């Protein structure tokens, strides 16, 4: 493989790693907010994931640029397509954390028995 192609793949992997870390951090914050009944922590989830869509779009754009510039072979093509699918799933998982945080905050504020 070409050194520039390998560099692009490394960049994409790093971007994905950062996005995954943010999703994990958001889920951890939501769980801790529930355990400790800290309503401000539920708002933090939204803050952590505020730019998730833009970050995923940037990753997708890098993948498309890699397709266009390097014309990967079948094995590399499968890898890049799996990265595209990962960004879509990470957005879905992140949106789930936002919905969970919003609903749990409402439940905690209403003092319902959980």
Q: Provide the Cα torsion 15, 30, 97, 88; round to 10°.
A: 20
* Per-residue pLDDT, 67: 81
| Dihedral pair phi/psi, residue 2, rounded to 5° | -75, 145
Q: For tokens 């793949």, name the residue.
A: 9
Q: What is the mean pLDDT of residues 90-94?
A: 94
The domains of the chain are located at 3-109
Q: What is the chain's Cα-based Rg?
A: 18
For 10-67, the pLDDT digits (tens) are: 999 999 999 999 999 999 999 999 999 888 899 999 999 999 999 999 999 999 888 8
CA–CA gap between residue 40 and residue 55 (Å, rounded) = 24
Q: What number does CATH give the domain 3-109?
A: 1.20.58.220
- The encoded tokens of residue 51 equal 């730019």
**Is there a contact between 86 and 32 (Cβ–Cβ < 8 Å)?**
no
| Dihedral pair phi/psi, residue 50, rounded to 5° | -60, -35
Q: Please classify residue 68 by burial: count the beta carbons closer than 10 Å to its beta carbon, then call 0-12 exposed, 13-18 middle and 19+ buried.
A: exposed
pTM (2 decimals)? 0.84
């Amino acid at each position: 493989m070409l050194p520039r192609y390998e560099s692009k793949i490394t960049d994409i992997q790093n971007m994905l790693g950062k996005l995954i870390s943010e999703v994990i951090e958001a889920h951890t914050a939501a769980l801790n907010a529930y355990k400790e009944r800290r309503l401000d922590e539920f708002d933090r989830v939204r803050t952590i994931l505020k730019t998730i869509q833009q970050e995923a779009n940037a990753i997708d754009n890098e993948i498309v640029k890699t397709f266009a510039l390097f014309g990967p072979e079948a094995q590399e093509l499968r890898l890049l397509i799996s990265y595209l699918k990962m960004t879509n799933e990470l957005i879905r998982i992140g949106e789930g954390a936002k919905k969970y945080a919003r609903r749990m905050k409402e439940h905690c504020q209403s003092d319902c028995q959980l």
